[in-house]
Structure 1
Amino acid sequence: MGATALLLSAALAGPAFAAGPATGGHSATRKAIEAAVQAGVPGVTATAKDAHGTWSTTAGVGDTRTGAPRSTADRYRVGSITKTFVSTVLLQLEAEGRLSLDDTVEKWLPGVVHGHGHDGSRITVRRLLNHTSGIYNYTADDDFGRTYFTKDGFFAHRYDTLTPRDLVAIAMKHEPDFKPGASWGYSNTNYVLAGMVIEKVTGHSYATEITHRIIGPLHLTATSVPGTQVTVPHPSSRAYSKLAQTATGPSYDVTKLNPSIASSAGEMISNSADLDRFYSALLRGKLLPPQQLKEMKTTVRADGIPNTRYGLGLMDTELTCGVHVWGHGGGIHGSASGAVATEDGRHALALNFNGDWAGDMDAVIDGEFC
Structure 2
Amino acid sequence: MTEFESPGRDGVRAAMDTVVRELGAPSIAVRIQDEHGAWFGSAGSADTVTGAPRVPGERLHTGSISKAFTAATVLRLETEGRLDLEDTVQDWLPGSMDGSEYDAAKITIRHLLNNSSGLFATGMATEIQRRAMFRSAFDAHRFEVWPPAEVLRVALSQPPVGAPGERFWYSNGGFAFAAAIVEKATGNSFESEVDRTVIAPLGLRHTFTRHREETGYRGRHPRAYAKIFLREGVRPEDVRPDNWGELMEDAGLPPLDVTEANTSWGWGAANVVSTLDDLTTFFHAMITGGLLPERQHRAMWTTIPTAGSHWIANTGYGLGLYELTLSNGLKLRGSGGQSFGTCTLVLGTPDGRHTIAMHTNNDWAPFPILDKIIEAEFGASGFALQG
When normalised by structure 2's length, the TM-score is 0.87
Q: Deviations over 1:23-55 (max 9, x none)?
A: 1xx333223222221201101111111111000
Question: Is 1:57–2:57 an aligned residue pair?
Answer: no
Q: Secondary structure at the match of 1:122?
A: coil
Map 1:307-346; keep pairs closer than 5 Å. Answer: 307-346=314-353
On the 8 A contact 2:4/2:55 being kept in 1, the answer is: no
On the 8 A contact 2:106/2:164 being kept in 1, the answer is: yes
Name the amino acid aligned to 1:66. Answer: T
Mapped partners of 1:185, 1:32: distance in 2: 32
Give the corresponding residue for 1:269: 273
Please state how far the C-alpha of 1:22 moved relative to its aligned partner. 4.9
Mapped partners of 1:239, 1:114: distance in 2: 38
Moved more, 29-38 or 50-59: 29-38
Q: Deviations over 1:259-311 (max 9, x none)?
A: 11111110111111110010012222211001111111100001242111101
Q: Secondary structure at the match of 1:115?
A: coil
Residue from 219, 240, 247 that aligns with 2:203: 219
Give the corresponding residue for 1:11: none
Moved more, 220-229 or 84-93: 220-229
Please state how far the C-alpha of 1:233 moved relative to its aligned partner. 2.6
On the 8 A contact 2:202/2:291 being kept in 1, the answer is: no
Give the corresponding residue for 2:13: 30
Mapped partners of 1:164, 1:272: distance in 2: 29
Q: Secondary structure at the match of 1:331?
A: strand
Question: Is 1:203–2:203 an aligned residue pair?
Answer: no
Please state how far the C-alpha of 1:209 moved relative to its aligned partner. 1.2
Question: Is 1:122–2:129 an aligned residue pair?
Answer: no
Name the amino acid aligned to 1:364. Answer: I
Mapped partners of 1:272, 1:218: distance in 2: 14
Give the corresponding residue for 1:231: 216
On the 8 A contact 1:159/1:258 being kept in 2, the answer is: yes
Give the corresponding residue for 2:238: none
Residue from 290, 295, 301 that aligns with 1:291: 295
Mapped partners of 2:146, 2:259: distance in 1: 18
Map 1:86-97; keep pairs closer than 5 Å. Answer: 86-97=70-81
The 4+ residue runs of structure 1 with deviation greater than 4 A are: none
On the 8 A contact 1:76/1:232 being kept in 2, the answer is: yes
Mapped partners of 1:220, 1:118: distance in 2: 37
Map 1:185-196; keep pairs closer than 5 Å. Answer: 185-196=169-180
Q: Deviations over 1:99-155 (max 9, x none)?
A: 111111110111112333111111011000111111123321123112112111111
Runs (5+) with no aligned partner, structure 2: 230-247, 380-387
Give the corresponding residue for 1:40: 24
Map 1:225-264; keep pairs closer than 5 Å. Answer: 225-227=209-211, 228-244=213-229, 245-246=248-249, 247-264=251-268
Q: Deviations over 1:168-226 (max 9, x none)?
A: 10122211111112211000000011111111111112211111122112221221111
On the 8 A contact 1:232/1:256 being kept in 2, the answer is: no
On the 8 A contact 2:335/2:347 being kept in 1, the answer is: yes
Name the amino acid aligned to 2:187. Answer: G
Please state how far the C-alpha of 1:243 moved relative to its aligned partner. 4.5
Give the corresponding residue for 2:371: 362
On the 8 A contact 1:103/1:125 being kept in 2, the answer is: yes
Name the amino acid aligned to 1:28. Answer: G
On the 8 A contact 2:287/2:334 being kept in 1, the answer is: no
Q: Deviations over 1:241-266 (max 9, x none)?
A: 11522533111110000111111110
Mapped partners of 2:6, 2:37: distance in 1: 15
Q: Secondary structure at the match of 1:233?
A: coil
Please state how far the C-alpha of 1:21 moved relative to its aligned partner. 5.5
Map 1:70-109; keep pairs closer than 5 Å. Answer: 70-109=54-93
Mapped partners of 1:353, 1:276: distance in 2: 16
Mapped partners of 2:100, 2:281: distance in 1: 42
On the 8 A contact 2:92/2:185 being kept in 1, the answer is: yes
Mapped partners of 2:225, 2:68: distance in 1: 25
On the 8 A contact 1:44/1:59 being kept in 2, the answer is: yes
Mapped partners of 1:207, 1:154: distance in 2: 25
Mapped partners of 1:158, 1:293: distance in 2: 37
Mapped partners of 1:107, 1:146: distance in 2: 33
Give aligned-pair identity as a percent. 36
Mapped partners of 1:140, 1:133: distance in 2: 16
Please state how far the C-alpha of 1:322 moved relative to its aligned partner. 1.6
Question: Is 1:179–2:163 an aligned residue pair?
Answer: yes
Q: Secondary structure at the match of 1:49?
A: strand
When normalised by structure 1's length, the TM-score is 0.91
Mapped partners of 2:199, 2:56: distance in 1: 20
On the 8 A contact 1:298/1:311 being kept in 2, the answer is: yes
Q: Secondary structure at the match of 2:268?
A: helix
Kindly tell me: are residues 171 and 281 of structure 1, through their superposed partners in 2, closer, same or farther at Cα, counting changes over 3 Å?
closer
Mapped partners of 1:350, 1:31: distance in 2: 17
